[in-house]
Structures are given as structure tokens and as C-alpha cells.
């Protein structure tokens, strides 16, 4: 009898322990708000290891904390490679911080998924209307995020090399056409001076692929998805124009113009003279100018038929939907919207300031400045990646298709399969309604 | 004082049920010792497996504002229409089919070599075992550089052939990508199984060898009739562990090729991770994992059956 009772007691202890364990797990998902304890707010950024940008964030936080007595913002930085996963994991556990940064193309996905809350920054020093369109994140007509800067894609080359081979240096009024570009590459290849005349960073990974190459696809007249309602990729991503882009993209490798997989540091290879023309982000403009001086040519993207195109949108700031102190978070966001911080960001990271007012305070970006063209590129050519919650999926599919095309897949098949997969994904998600 | 007198009184009945009591205390101790392991197993193995089973029949996503709904076999029908899934299955089978005999055989050869009683044998044991203790991510990164078109491997090939032969872009060519990964994986893993074989070799009594030698057996005969039968249990263990490890090929792929070029190196686990995390399709990834689970279970059961004690 005693024995049986003991066993019962033991079993109940075990059961209680198990329940506690399960409850412990559950409480992680059960809490509905976090990210702030009282008036102390946590802020997450992807900038660990990128001290230039991180210092600006720290400065804004310090200024904000000193400017008033109510709120304190605390910083936590993550390495970029792990950042998105950390956010997704924290969101599943409902443990997101109040403030976080988000890569522009992901805003729609995170807003749809309920991670982000709409923000209201009216009354801040810089009005949202003053910003470059690509630096503002909206979804379903609501403002979810804003960034301080954008980046631009451009071709970099040496003027001396282009002159030597009789290649015209294009301007925004008269960019290269497809045939002109192909002729230039053929000419450079023929000279034998370069292993590969063109360097487009094909050794890169992740978001670089859609960021760098989908604008070219768009310039051919194709796109990643039908932007009218975002309900189908078939007929667009595998349409005639897109396939033509695929054939051209593939031909760069078959004709020996471009490496199937470029080296670990494409910019270094370009500066070392291994390649003649580099397709790269504006973040390397200052470095290139420092090395090449006046010889550096900043060249607008090629017009493949539908005008020159570059990708738009970079990292932006947002507020989580689970934030327990939304007033404080909005205060910080509003506070940060001062022209001086736009200037700080652009100077620290060699990026394009998001407002004209800031651009005017930076010599290089002023009208007539060394990098004024890059600002113009961002203004004239930037096409944001499709603003749909399906974007992260589209991005992976496009990346795979483009990589397969370079590896020798038939462009029609590769793009067709990608379009089919995207359609399937849209269908099983009810077109991301709700 | 009272306790002193009372104590023997109370001890007596206890002494009578000593065996039950000891046993009870023993089982309590056992339970206490097993608890941490059992809890960990439940949390990190049983629960995820159960979840994968359940999720595979829903439309759960990593990011979604709507709760998961039951969708029946939709994930599976979609999976069986997915050309990449068949390539993953084929690549996984290919990898296992080559790696299992190659790695097990090579490990045995190495074990026999380092089992010899010569000077400096510990040095070689260490050398062969070093790659095992190095993180697979580090090894993969390192070999990615070695395998580059202008990497060390091709330099060596070029030098050895006096420049007559140029090596391929190992990881960039669909024909060589998987063999390159196989070579590297075998190099990395062979030391571990060498140690297992070595442990097995040392369980074989020395008298058997002496007896065989007295009977005039050649080294080959000694291997066939003493060593090989003596390694029975070790053989099964090595076979099962290599097979399971080979099926779960992932890290190398993630770091070195991301499944490319042209899906020539994608594997079932890689596809599950890519689908589940990069593409946020939790339920679909759960379906892939479920198939993978069934697959590994089947192969393990077949192996257990084939290597069972026949007497």
C-alpha cells in the first residue's frame, strides 16, 4: 500500500515536472508583448562587424537617451548573416525587440506575417515625402519602415582602358545599348588583356543575385512576377523577354566575357586590373575613386530595351507589432529622422543619402559632386523588388534559376520551373491574402 | 536519548524488507540518472519528430499571420511532382553508395596500418584523426579554396603533369562536383571509423594470432580467418553509422555548393533545410523530413536484418 502510494507520488511529481516543462515552453509563445521593460526599449540591428554603420546607430541612440528622461534605448547587434534568422526565431517565440532593422524587400513579408506594426512619424524633422521612394517601406498603403540611405548599382571602369579600346563612355542621356555593350565586351576580350572583361560578382550569394541581376531582366522587359496584383509569375518570369535575358546572361559565360563564378573579392580583382568593367554597388565607389582617381568612370546601367534599371531599397528601421511600448519606439523613430543623421549615415557608409537636404551637405553627393550620378541613378533607375509577402520565396527561386542558367541550364526551362514554383507557392498561400 | 533506544526498534522491520527497499532505492537512483537524458531526448528528438509528422499534413509556414490548416496529403503529392526532390534522392543514394564502402574500407586499411607495433604509430593515429575533430564548416571552407579553378588541387595536377593537364573547376562542373565532395567527406570522416575499427581490432585475443602463426597461416589467411570474423560486431556498427551519416549529408553542400551546379549536389537534407528556412515552407520541409526518416529507417532495418546473428 505504502509502496503504491509512493509510486503514485513519484508519478505525480514527474507529471508535474513535465507539465511545468511544457508550460515553460508555452509561456514563450503565450506572451503577447515584449521588447521593452517599462521605458527601456531594445533595438536590434544587423550591423555587428560593420563598425562604420554601427557607430551611427550608437550615436543616434546616445543622443536620444540624453535628449529626454522618459525612455532609454538599448542596442543589440547581430552579424548580418544570422540576422534574419534571429528575427524569425524571435518572432515565433514572440520575443521581438521593440525596434529592429529590416532589409527593404522583406518589409512586405514581415508586415504580412504580423511581425511589424505600422508606424506614424508625422511631426519629425524630415517628412517622409522628402525621401527617395525606395527608402520607404509601405505595405497595403501603410508605412512600416524607413531607411536613411539607399545604394545604387553602377558599372565601374577605367576611362583610360575604355579609351584605349575605342569604347564610348556612356552618360545618363545616352547609356550603352545592348549591342554597344556586347561589342565593347568583345573588343576587350579580343585584346587578351583580361581573363574576363566583365566582372558581375557571380561568386556572390543570397540577395545579391536578385538585387544585381533582376534589374537587367527588367531592362530586357521581363520581371520577377506580374506586378499587377502579384498573382502570377508564369508568363512574366518565363516570358519571351525574360528568356531573352537568360540567353544573354548565359552568353556572357559561353563567350568568355564573365566568370561563371567570380573570385572571393570581385572589387579587388577589378582594382587589380583583372577585369575591365565591374557591375557593383555604390558602396565601393569611394574606394574605387580613392584608388583610381580621375581615371574612374561611373557608368549608368545598360539600356537593354526598356531603359536602364537598378535595384532599389536597402536596410530600414521598423517597429515590432509585439512591442509593449509603442509610444517610446515611435519617439525614437521620430527622433532619428533628423537631417544630420541622414548625413552621418551616408558619410559613414558611402551610401546615397535618402533626402536631398542631406545630399546637399555632402560634397560628393551635391550637384556637381563626384558621386552625384549615383544619386541620379537611384532617383531615375531604381526599381524596388516586388512588394509582396511572397518576395523571400521569389528571391530564392530567381537566385536558383539564374545560377542554373550560368551553369548551363536552358534558360527557358530554368525560368519556367521557377515561375511554376512561384505560382504554386502563391496558390498554396491563397495569394498571401489575409 | 530516546532516539537511541527507538532506533533499533524502527530498524528491525526495515531490515526484513531490505531487498525491496534496496531495489526501490536503486530504481530511484536509476530514474534520477536517466531523467536528464530522457528529458533531452523527449525535447529534442521525440517532440520534433512528432511535430514533423503532424506538420507534414498542414500548410504551416515559418512566417504566417494565419494558423496552420490541415491539408491532407497535398505536401506529398507536390513533393512527388518536384523534379528537384528526385535529384536529391538520387544524389543522396549516390553519395551513400560510394561513401559507405569507400570510407569503411579505407578506415579498415588505416586501422590495420596503425595497429602495427612500430615506433611513431601514435603520430599517425593523430594525423588521421585530426580532420575528425576539425569542424566540418571549417573543413568545407578550406576545401572550397583547394577546389577552385586556380586552387591548390589544380596547381598540383598541373605541376605533376608538367602543365599538360589542366584540372576542371571541381565544384563548378556538374560532373565533378559530387565526386569532389565525396573525396573530401571521406578524408574528413575516415579517421573516426579508423578508431572504431582499431577498437575492434584490439578486442581480438592475441592468442588467436599466435595459434594461427604456429599453424603456418599467411598474413592474408590470418586476416580472413581471425581478424575478419573477430570484427563482426564492429562491422555492423561501422556500417550502420556510416550509412546514417552519409544519408544526412548537409554541411558540405550548404557551405560548398548550395546544391548546385544544376542540382548535381542537392541532397534530401539540404533540400529540407532550404525549403524550411530559406523558403519558409515549414510544412513542405516537414514532409521532406518525414520521407527522409522513413528512408533511413528502412535502410537501417534492412541492414540490421542482413547483419543479424544467424545462429
Please indicate, yes or no, whether residues A304 and A326 belong to a single structural domain of this protein: no
Instruction: Tally Cβ neighbours within 10 Å of residue B75.
Output: 25
Neighboring chain A residues of B277 at a CB cutoff of 8 Å:
85
- Spatial separation of the C-alpha atoms in residues B176 and B153, rounded to whole Å: 13
| DSSP secondary structure, B55-69, as one string | HTTB---SS-SS---
Query: Residue holding cell 511532382?
Result: B81
Query: Residue holding cell 546544391?
Result: B259
- The pLDDT, as a whole number, for residue A39 is 82
Instruction: Tally Cβ neighbours within 10 Å of residue A38.
Output: 10
Please indicate, yes or no, whether residues A128 and A180 belong to a single structural domain of this protein: no
- The CB-based long-range contact list for A6-15 (8 Å cut-off, 24+ gap) reads A6/B24, A10/B28, A10/B31
Summary mean pLDDT of chain B: 86
- Spatial separation of the C-alpha atoms in residues B154 and B131, rounded to whole Å: 22
Q: Is there a domain that residue A9 lies in?
A: no
Contact B224, B89 (CB under 8 A): no
Domain boundary among A363, A384, A405: A384
Q: How many pairs of residues across A and B have Cβ atoms under 8 Å apart?
A: 67
Please indicate, yes or no, whether residues A329 and A378 belong to a single structural domain of this protein: yes
Complex ipTM, two decimals? 0.80
Question: Cβ separation of A403 and B261 shorter than 8 Å?
Answer: yes
B66 touches chain A (CB under 8 A): yes
- The pLDDT, as a whole number, for residue A19 is 45
Order of strands across the sheet that contains A198-199: A198-199, A277-281, A153-158, A296-299
Instruction: Count the domains in chain A.
Output: 2
Please indicate, yes or no, whether residues A49 and A101 belong to a single structural domain of this protein: yes
Beta bridge partners of B70: B58
Please indicate, yes or no, whether residues A399 and A348 belong to a single structural domain of this protein: no
Name the residue range of residue A413's domain: 153-310+389-432
Q: Which of A65, A122, A287, A123 is nearest to A57 (CA)?
A: A65
With a pLDDT cut of 70, the percent of chain B lying above it is: 94
Contact A416, A238 (CB under 8 A): yes
**Is a pLDDT exceeding 60 seen at residue A3?**
no
Identify the three-state secondary structure at position A417. helix
Neighboring chain B residues of A92 at a CB cutoff of 8 Å:
62
Q: Is there a domain that residue A373 lies in?
A: yes
* B197-235: pLDDT as tens digits: 999 998 888 888 888 888 888 888 888 888 888 888 898
- The pLDDT, as a whole number, for residue A280 is 92
Identify the three-state secondary structure at position A42. strand
- Spatial separation of the C-alpha atoms in residues B124 and B114, rounded to whole Å: 7
**Is a pLDDT exceeding 50 seen at residue A59?**
yes
For A88, the closest of B31, B63, B261 (CB atoms) is B63
Q: Is there a domain that residue A420 lies in?
A: yes
- The pLDDT, as a whole number, for residue A133 is 85
Contact A267, A288 (CB under 8 A): yes
Q: Is there a domain that residue A3 lies in?
A: no
- The pLDDT, as a whole number, for residue A343 is 92
Q: Is there a domain that residue A28 lies in?
A: no
Is residue B12 very low, low, confident or very high in pLDDT (cuts 50, 70, 90)? low
Q: Is there a domain that residue A244 lies in?
A: yes
The three cell numbers locating residue A142: 501603410
- Spatial separation of the C-alpha atoms in residues B198 and B237, rounded to whole Å: 13
A109 touches chain B (CB under 8 A): yes
* A237-280: pLDDT as tens digits: 998 999 999 999 999 999 999 988 888 789 999 999 889 999 99
* A375-415: pLDDT as tens digits: 888 888 988 898 899 998 999 999 999 999 999 889 999 99
Most confident of A5-19, B6-20, B277-291: B277-291
**For residue A156, which phi and psi values (nearest 5 degrees)?**
-115, 140
Please indicate, yes or no, whether residues A166 and A114 belong to a single structural domain of this protein: no
* B250-299: pLDDT as tens digits: 999 988 888 878 889 999 999 999 998 888 888 999 999 999 989 888 98
Please indicate, yes or no, whether residues A118 and A266 belong to a single structural domain of this protein: no
- Spatial separation of the C-alpha atoms in residues B150 and B168, rounded to whole Å: 9
Residues 6+ apart with CB under 8 A from A51: none
Please indicate, yes or no, whether residues A269 and A408 belong to a single structural domain of this protein: yes
Domain locations along chain B: 82-307
Write the CA distances from A419 to A304, A395, B268, B274, integer angstroms: 22, 12, 22, 18
- The pLDDT, as a whole number, for residue A34 is 66
Radius of gyration of chain A (CA): 25
Please indicate, yes or no, whether residues A169 and A270 belong to a single structural domain of this protein: yes
**H-state helical runs in A311-370:** 326-336, 339-349, 356-359
Please indicate, yes or no, whether residues A82 and A118 belong to a single structural domain of this protein: yes
For A407, the closest of B65, B260, B274 (CB atoms) is B260
Which residue of chain B has the CA closest to A91?
A: B63
Please indicate, yes or no, whether residues A378 and A400 belong to a single structural domain of this protein: no
* B63-104: pLDDT as tens digits: 888 888 888 888 898 888 888 999 999 999 999 999 999 999
- The pLDDT, as a whole number, for residue A85 is 82
Please indicate, yes or no, whether residues A401 and A318 belong to a single structural domain of this protein: no
The CATH number for A345's domain is: 3.40.190.10
**Is a pLDDT exceeding 70 seen at residue A2?**
no
Instruction: Look at A57-61, A106-110, B119-123, B307-311 and tell me which has the smallest mean pLDDT.
Output: B307-311
B211 Cα to chain A: minimum distance (Å): 56
* A140-164: pLDDT as tens digits: 899 999 999 988 899 999 999 999 9
B311 Cα to chain A: minimum distance (Å): 41
B64 Cα to chain A: minimum distance (Å): 5
Neighboring chain B residues of A403 at a CB cutoff of 8 Å:
258, 260-261
A81 touches chain B (CB under 8 A): no
Q: Is there a domain that residue A72 lies in?
A: yes
Domain covering B82-307 in this structure, CATH number = 1.10.3720.10
- Spatial separation of the C-alpha atoms in residues A280 and A271, rounded to whole Å: 12
- Any idea how long chain A is? 434
- Spatial separation of the C-alpha atoms in residues B117 and B126, rounded to whole Å: 15
Question: Cβ separation of A205 and B62 shorter than 8 Å?
Answer: no
- Spatial separation of the C-alpha atoms in residues A36 and A142, rounded to whole Å: 24
Q: Is A151 exposed, middle or buried (0-12, 13-18, 19+ CB in 10 A)?
A: buried
- Spatial separation of the C-alpha atoms in residues B195 and B132, rounded to whole Å: 11
CA dihedral B62, B68, B74, B79 (to 10 degrees): 20
- More confident call, A21 vs A343: A343
Which residue of chain B has the CA closest to A398?
A: B279
Summary mean pLDDT of chain A: 86
- The pLDDT, as a whole number, for residue B17 is 58
Query: Residue holding cell 521557377?
Result: A418
A420 touches chain B (CB under 8 A): no
- The pLDDT, as a whole number, for residue A6 is 53
* B156-167: pLDDT as tens digits: 888 888 878 888
Q: Which of B40, B245, B222 is nearest to B115 (CA)?
A: B222
Question: Cβ separation of B66 and A434 shorter than 8 Å?
Answer: yes
For range B130-140, the mean pLDDT = 90
- Spatial separation of the C-alpha atoms in residues A422 and A432, rounded to whole Å: 12
pTM score of the predicted model = 0.83
For range B180-197, the mean pLDDT = 92
- The pLDDT, as a whole number, for residue B5 is 46
Neighboring chain A residues of B263 at a CB cutoff of 8 Å:
404
* A181-195: pLDDT as tens digits: 999 999 999 988 898
- Among B73, B75, B261, the residue to mutate for chain A (most A Cβ within 10 A): B261
* A286-302: pLDDT as tens digits: 889 999 988 999 999 99
- The pLDDT, as a whole number, for residue B311 is 58
- Spatial separation of the C-alpha atoms in residues A392 and A231, rounded to whole Å: 15
For range B105-121, the mean pLDDT = 86
Q: Is the dihedral of CA B264, B267, B272, B274 positive or negative?
A: negative
Amino acid at each position: 500500500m505504502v509502496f503504491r502510494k509512493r509510486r503514485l507520488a513519484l508519478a505525480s511529481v514527474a507529471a508535474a515536472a513535465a507539465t511545468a516543462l511544457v508550460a515553460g515552453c508555452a509561456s514563450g509563445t503565450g506572451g503577447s508583448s515584449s521588447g521593452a521593460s517599462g521605458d527601456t526599449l531594445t533595438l536590434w540591428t544587423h550591423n555587428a562587424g560593420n563598425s562604420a554603420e554601427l557607430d551611427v546607430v550608437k550615436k543616434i541612440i546616445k543622443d536620444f537617451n540624453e535628449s529626454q528622461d522618459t525612455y532609454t534605448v538599448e542596442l543589440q547587434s547581430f552579424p548580418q548573416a544570422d540576422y534574419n534568422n534571429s528575427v524569425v526565431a524571435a518572432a515565433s517565440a514572440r520575443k521581438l525587440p521593440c525596434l529592429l532593422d529590416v532589409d527593404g524587400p522583406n518589409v512586405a513579408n514581415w508586415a504580412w506575417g504580423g511581425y511589424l506594426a505600422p508606424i506614424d512619424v508625422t511631426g519629425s524633422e524630415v517628412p517622409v515625402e522628402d525621401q527617395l521612394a525606395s527608402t520607404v517601406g509601405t505595405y497595403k498603403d501603410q508605412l512600416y519602415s524607413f531607411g536613411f540611405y539607399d545604394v545604387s548599382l553602377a558599372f565601374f571602369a577605367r576611362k583610360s582602358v575604355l579609351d584605349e579600346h575605342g569604347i564610348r563612355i556612356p552618360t545618363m542621356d545616352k547609356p550603352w545599348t545592348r549591342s554597344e555593350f556586347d561589342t565593347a565586351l568583345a573588343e576587350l576580350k579580343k585584346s587578351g588583356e583580361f581573363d574576363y572583361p566583365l566582372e558581375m560578382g557571380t561568386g556572390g550569394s543570397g540577395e545579391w543575385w536578385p538585387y544585381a541581376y533582376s534589374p537587367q531582366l527588367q531592362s530586357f522587359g521581363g520581371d520577377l512576377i506580374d506586378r499587377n496584383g502579384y498573382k502570377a509569375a508564369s508568363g512574366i518570369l518565363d516570358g519571351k523577354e525574360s528568356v531573352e535575358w537568360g540567353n544573354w546572361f548565359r552568353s556572357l559565360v559561353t563567350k568568355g566575357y564573365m566568370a561563371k563564378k567570380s573570385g572571393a573579392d570581385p572589387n579587388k580583382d577589378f582594382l587589380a586590373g583583372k577585369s575591365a568593367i565591374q557591375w557593383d554597388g555604390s558602396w565601393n565607389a569611394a574606394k574605387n575613386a580613392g584608388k583610381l582617381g580621375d581615371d574612374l568612370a561611373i557608368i549608368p546601367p545598360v539600356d537593354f530595351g526598356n531603359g536602364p534599371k537598378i535595384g532599389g531599397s536597402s536596410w530600414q528601421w521598423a517597429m515590432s507589432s509585439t512591442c509593449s511600448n509603442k509610444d517610446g519606439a515611435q519617439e525614437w523613430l521620430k527622433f532619428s529622422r533628423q537631417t544630420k543623421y541622414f548625413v552621418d549615415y551616408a558619410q559613414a557608409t558611402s551610401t546615397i543619402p535618402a533626402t536631398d537636404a542631406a545630399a546637399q551637405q555632402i560634397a560628393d553627393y551635391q550637384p556637381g559632386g563626384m558621386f552625384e550620378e549615383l544619386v541620379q541613378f537611384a532617383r531615375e533607375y531604381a526599381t524596388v523588388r516586388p512588394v509582396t509577402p511572397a518576395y523571400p520565396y521569389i528571391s530564392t527561386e530567381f537566385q536558383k534559376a539564374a545560377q542554373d542558367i550560368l551553369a548551363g541550364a536552358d534558360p527557358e526551362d530554368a525560368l519556367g520551373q521557377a515561375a511554376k514554383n512561384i505560382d504554386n507557392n502563391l496558390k498554396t498561400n491563397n495569394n498571401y491574402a489575409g | 536519548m530516546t532516539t537511541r533506544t527507538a532506533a533499533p526498534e524502527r530498524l528491525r522491520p526495515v531490515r526484513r524488507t531490505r531487498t525491496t527497499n534496496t531495489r526501490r532505492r536503486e530504481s530511484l537512483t536509476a530514474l534520477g540518472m536517466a531523467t536528464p537524458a530522457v528529458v533531452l531526448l523527449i525535447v529534442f528528438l521525440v517532440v520534433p519528430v512528432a511535430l514533423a509528422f503532424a506538420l507534414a499534413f498542414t500548410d504551416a509556414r515559418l512566417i504566417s499571420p494565419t494558423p496552420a490548416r490541415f491539408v491532407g496529403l497535398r505536401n506529398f503529392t507536390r513533393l512527388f511532382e518536384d523534379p528537384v526532390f528526385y535529384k536529391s534522392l538520387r544524389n543522396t543514394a549516390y553519395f551513400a553508395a560510394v561513401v559507405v564502402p569507400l570510407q569503411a574500407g579505407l578506415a579498415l586499411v588505416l586501422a590495420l596500418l596503425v595497429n602495427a607495433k612500430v615506433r611513431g604509430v601514435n603520430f599517425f593515429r593523430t594525423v588521421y584523426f585530426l580532420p575528425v575533430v576539425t569542424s566540418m564548416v571549417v573543413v568545407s571552407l578550406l576545401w572550397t579554396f583547394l577546389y577552385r579553378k586556380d586552387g591548390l588541387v589544380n596547381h598540383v595536377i598541373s605541376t605533376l603533369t608538367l602543365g599538360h593537364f589542366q584540372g576542371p573547376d571541381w565544384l563548378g562542373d556538374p560532373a565533378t562536383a559530387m565526386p569532389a565532395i565525396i573525396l573530401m567527406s571521406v578524408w574528413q570522416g575516415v579517421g573516426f571509423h579508423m578508431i572504431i575499427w582499431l577498437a575492434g581490432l584490439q578486442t581480438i585475443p592475441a592468442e588467436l594470432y599466435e595459434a594461427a602463426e604456429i599453424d603456418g597461416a599467411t598474413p592474408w589467411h590470418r586476416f580472413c580467418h581471425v581478424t575478419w570474423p573477430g570484427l563482426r560486431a564492429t562491422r555492423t556498427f561501422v556500417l550502420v553509422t556510416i550509412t546514417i551519416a552519409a544519408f544526412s549529408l548537409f554541411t558540405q553542400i550548404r557551405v560548398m555548393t548550395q546544391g548546385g551546379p544544376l542540382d548535381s549536389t542537392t541532397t534530401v537534407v539540404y533540400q529540407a533545410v532550404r525549403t524550411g528556412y530559406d523558403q519558409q515552407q515549414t510544412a513542405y520541409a516537414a514532409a521532406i523530413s518525414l520521407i527522409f526518416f522513413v528512408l533511413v529507417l528502412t535502410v537501417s532495418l534492412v541492414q540490421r536484418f542482413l547483419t543479424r546473428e544467424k545462429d
